[in-house]
């Protein structure tokens, strides 16, 4: 369990660094490039973005290792630390100071996460032997909501609404990718790398992670990070916890422990919403390019 937590923390740090670098590159991308192949073509020319991409790709094997050693509903919530770590990294990059409000939000998320991990403590669970119908229904619902959010994001003309829809879709897609990845680790335990490379879970995880990455880049280009970040940060672990408890049958304590888990989760949400309004977060995307592609 401790090893999985340590690996999840490393994923959060790596993701945060990747976020800061990618957002720095996305600041100069014209908004007219959104939803176009030219968006990626513009970004790939940036050395900063490429470093961020490399770090982002490195989180895949790290995340798989964390999920291989730990529970889905424990590992994924730790990734919410990506948001406060991103703000701390941005403050160093832009040589600025975090406000008291920022530190309050960071403290709320950190304390809430520690509380959640202490009281949640899921046990048991079965990743293998899940009926194909369960996978199809669960995946269909998950992906269906992502598609709806994507379409809403394309149709809205308000930057804040577009960013919110895309951020929510990104969080849901990343969460589903983690679910597939968790199942993939069970395949690795029994069949090794050859089994993984021929498993549908591996390709499903890569496909949904790619979709999430595409939505994330468009959310960055849309600006309004205060609107997009809550969805990206909070829906990923929310999806993982739901799949872990409902589909994988991970068991948690009830009664007072459940109430404490809800209170801890509320602290995480409140902290994330506080940080989403941080001037530091807005500074990471100020002065976007307005030239046409």
Tell me which residue of 190, 191, 185 sits closest to 205, measured CA to CA.
185
> Residue 101, Cβ neighbours under 10 Å: how many?
14
The whole-angstrom separation of Cα 149 and Cα 216 is: 13
Angle of helix 47-69 relative to helix 159-197, nearest 10 degrees, comes to 60
pLDDT of residue 292: 36
Place of tokens 């600025």: 96
Length of the chain, please?
Answer: 293
Complete DSSP assignment for 74-85? HHHHHGGGHHHH
* pLDDT, average across residues 79-85: 84
Q: Look at residue 290 and tell me whether its pLDDT is greater than 60.
A: no
First to last CA, the chain: 49
pLDDT band at 38 (very low <50, low <70, confident <90, very high): low
CB of 59 closer than 8 Å to CB of 15: yes
Q: Look at residue 283 and tell me whether its pLDDT is greater than 80.
A: no
Q: What SS3 state is found at 14? A: helix
The whole-angstrom separation of Cα 184 and Cα 127 is: 9
pLDDT of residue 37: 58
Tell me which residue of 291, 285, 132, 263 sits closest to 219, measured CA to CA.
285
Higher model confidence: residue 230 or residue 215?
Answer: 215
Higher model confidence: residue 190 or residue 208?
Answer: 208
Q: What SS3 state is found at 106? A: helix
pLDDT tens digit sequence for 157-185 = 787 788 889 989 999 999 999 999 999 98
pLDDT band at 253 (very low <50, low <70, confident <90, very high): low
pLDDT of residue 174: 92
Helical (H) or strand (E) element with 250: strand 250-251
What percentage of the chain exceeds 70 in pLDDT? 84
pLDDT tens digit sequence for 13-37 = 998 888 778 777 666 555 545 555 5
Tell me which residue of 23, 21, 17, 18 sits closest to 221, measured CA to CA.
23
Helical (H) or strand (E) element with 108: helix 100-120
Place of tokens 């468009």: 218
* pLDDT, average across residues 125-146: 90
pLDDT band at 207 (very low <50, low <70, confident <90, very high): very high
Q: Look at residue 258 and tell me whether its pLDDT is greater than 90.
A: no
pLDDT band at 206 (very low <50, low <70, confident <90, very high): very high
pLDDT of residue 2: 79
Name the DSSP letter for residue 255.
T
The domains of the chain are located at 2-283
Q: Look at residue 50 and tell me whether its pLDDT is greater than 70.
A: yes
The residues with which 250 forms a beta bridge, in sequence order, are 124
Q: Report the predicted TM-score, pTM, of the whole model to 2 decimal places.
A: 0.79
Tell me which residue of 279, 177, 220 sits closest to 46, measured CA to CA.
220
The whole-angstrom separation of Cα 137 and Cα 164 is: 26
């Amino acid at each position: 369990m401790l090893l999985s937590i340590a690996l999840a923390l490393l994923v959060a740090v790596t993701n945060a660094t990747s976020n800061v670098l990618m957002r720095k590159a996305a600041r100069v991308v014209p908004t007219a490039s959104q939803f176009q192949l030219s968006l990626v073509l513009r970004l790939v020319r940036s050395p900063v973005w490429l470093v961020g991409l490399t770090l982002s790709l490195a989180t895949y094997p790290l995340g798989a290792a964390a999920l291989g050693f730990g529970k889905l509903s424990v590992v994924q919530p730790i990734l919410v630390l990506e948001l406060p770590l991103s703000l701390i990294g941005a403050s160093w990059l832009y040589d600025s100071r975090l406000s008291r409000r920022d530190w309050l939000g960071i403290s709320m998320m950190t304390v809430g996460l520690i509380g959640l991990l202490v009281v949640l403590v899921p046990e048991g669970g079965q990743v293998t032997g899940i009926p194909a119908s369960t996978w199809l229904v669960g995946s269909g619902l998950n992906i269906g909501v992502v598609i709806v959010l994507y379409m809403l994001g394309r149709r809205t003309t308000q930057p804040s609404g577009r960013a919110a829809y895309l951020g929510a879709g990104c969080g849901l897609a990343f969460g589903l990718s983690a679910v597939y990845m968790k199942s993939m680790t069970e395949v690795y335990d029994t069949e090794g790398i050859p089994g993984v490379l021929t498993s549908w879970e591996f390709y499903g995880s890569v496909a949904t992670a790619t979709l999430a990455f595409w939505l994330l880049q468009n959310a960055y280009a849309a600006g309004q990070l205060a609107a997009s970040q809550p969805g990206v940060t909070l829906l990923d672990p929310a999806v993982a916890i739901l799949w872990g408890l409902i589909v994988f049958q991970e068991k948690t304590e009830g009664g007072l422990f459940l109430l404490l888990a809800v209170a801890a989760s509320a602290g995480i949400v409140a902290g994330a919403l506080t940080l989403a309004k941080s001037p530091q977060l807005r500074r990471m995307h100020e002065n976007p390019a307005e030239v046409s592609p």
